[in-house]
Structure 1
C-alpha cells in the first residue's frame, strides 16, 4: 500500500504531518507517520503491523480487516 501512495504523485510530507489512507477493497487502514526507507515490518498483533524506519522509529501502521477491528472496538467503547 505504501508504494502506491508514494507513486501517486503526492507532495512531500510536512514534518509532524500524518497521513491516513483506507483501501476499501483490501479493507486495510494505513497510517503513514514518516516517509522514507523501511528497515522492517513487524506484526505486533493479529492484523496489526508496524513499519520500522531505518533509524528505528515507527514509520507507519497497517490495520488489516480494518472494518471488523475498528467497528467492533467502537461499538464496545460506546456501550454504557
Structure 2
C-alpha cells in the first residue's frame, strides 16, 4: 500500500495494489475509487482533501496501524 499527497492539487491518494485501474467510480464528496477489471479496488482518491478536513496542509503526519480482526 502506498499513500501519496499532492499539496499543489490537494489530492490524497491511497494506492492499494500496483495494478492498472480499468474502471473508476466517483462518490459524493469528491472521492474516486478505481477498480481492476474483475472489480477489486486499486486506489482511493480524495479530491480537495484539506477542504474536507482529511489533510492539514501545514502538518502532515501518517500513522499506520495494523488491526487484528476479532475472532468470529
TM-score normalised to the size of structure 1?
Answer: 0.63
The number of residue pairs the alignment matches comes to 55
RMSD of Structure 2 on Structure 1 (CA): 1.6
Within 5 A, what are the aligned runs for 1:1-80?
Answer: 18-69=1-52, 70=54
- Once the two structures are TM-superposed, the CA of residue 55 in structure 1 deviates from its matched residue by 2.0
Distance 1:68 1:31 in 2: 18
TM-score (norm 2): 0.69
Which protein has the bigger helix share? 1
- 2:24 and 2:9 map into 1 onto residues whose CA distance is 18
| Structure 1 segments of 4+ aligned residues over 6 angstroms from their partners | none
- The Cα shift of 1:60 comes to 0.2
**5+ long unaligned stretches in structure 1:** 1-17, 72-80
Q: Which runs of 5+ in 2 are unaligned?
A: 56-72
